[in-house]
Amino acid sequence: MLDTLTQRRSIRKYKNQDIEQELLNEILKAGTRASTTGNMQVYSIVVTRDEKKKEELSPCHFNQPMIKNAPVTLTFCADFNRFNRWCMQRNAEPGYDNFLSFMTAAIDALLVAQTVCIAAEAKGLGICYLGTVTYTADKIIDVLNLPKGVVPVATVTLGYSDEEPEQVDRLPLEAVVHNESYNDFTEDSINQLYKNKESLAENKAFVEENGKETLAQVFTDVRYKKADNEHFSKVLLDVLKKQGFLE
């Protein structure tokens, strides 16, 4: 069973084969067994299958081909809308229009998202997370018609794999695990922990293709640039405000 977790890889190319509704429901239902704060289940999942909707969603994800290629896209949202409506119908005054409540709901949504992904993989499907969701939450809100109280935090494409990619590298466990207290890094330990990653042929090729000196520069200068991060931080904070989480 641990093999499902340890042998996995993200799948970006899918067969032209639909996912049966019954199977999808089974997977989504497994997701709903994830822990949520106070069992409030303050999340929602929007399922995209329709070709027209995929067309609309695609630019929100910078036209990465997975959206149109996969039979199903799932958008996981932090969602206090349903819970707030329930409270108001039950003579209870909700106090969830603040940043802490956004984080509570985002955590719910992300634990469910990962459970759904693992359930899908256990059922023989391939998945891929699209990090673009936090950049264009404002546009996704329009496309999926998300009301106040709802913010998308994870997008996943889902389908039967049509590729057999190599498993990508990970840092050694010592890079991410600290015992008892945070054991901060030294220049030597950083060198040691990144040595294998930097030595891999695919990563060396990545540096060369991008005309950079180091792999780190590919991240800072090409993939995840300061100016972009600052721009999208502003967009995302505006989204939280508009959706009622910064009152």
Q: Is residue 157 near its own copies by the rule CB under 8 A?
A: no
Q: Is residue 204 near its own copies by the rule CB under 8 A?
A: no
Exposed, middle or buried: residue 33 (CB in 10 Å: 0-12, 13-18, 19+)? exposed
Q: Which one among 17, 20, 55, 85 touches its own copies, defined by CB under 8 A?
A: 85
Q: CB 192 → its own copies: shortest distance, Å?
A: 11
Which residue, 160 or 235, is less far from its own copies as judged by CB? 235
Residues 5-24 that bind its own copies (CB under 8 A): 5-6, 8, 10
Residues 211-230 that bind its own copies (CB under 8 A): 213-217, 219-221, 223-227, 229-230
Q: What letter represents residue 221's amino acid?
A: D
Q: CB 60 → its own copies: shortest distance, Å?
A: 14
Q: Is residue 81 near its own copies by the rule CB under 8 A?
A: yes
Q: Which one among 66, 67, 70, 113 touches its own copies, defined by CB under 8 A?
A: 113
Q: Are 71 and 14 in contact (CB under 8 A)?
A: yes
Task: Tokens for 73, please give them.
Answer: 């896209």
Residues 26-65 that bind its own copies (CB under 8 A): 26, 28-35, 37-41, 43-50, 53
Q: CB 26 → its own copies: shortest distance, Å?
A: 7
Q: At what angle do helices 187-199 and 201-209 cross, to 10 degrees?
A: 90
Q: CB 81 → its own copies: shortest distance, Å?
A: 7
Task: Tokens for 103, please give them.
Answer: 């984080």
What is the residue-wise DSSP string for 22-88? Answer: HHHHHHHHHHTTS--GGG---EEEEEE--HHHHHHHGGGGTT-THHHHSSEEEEEEEE-HHHHHHHH
Q: What letter represents residue 147's amino acid?
A: P
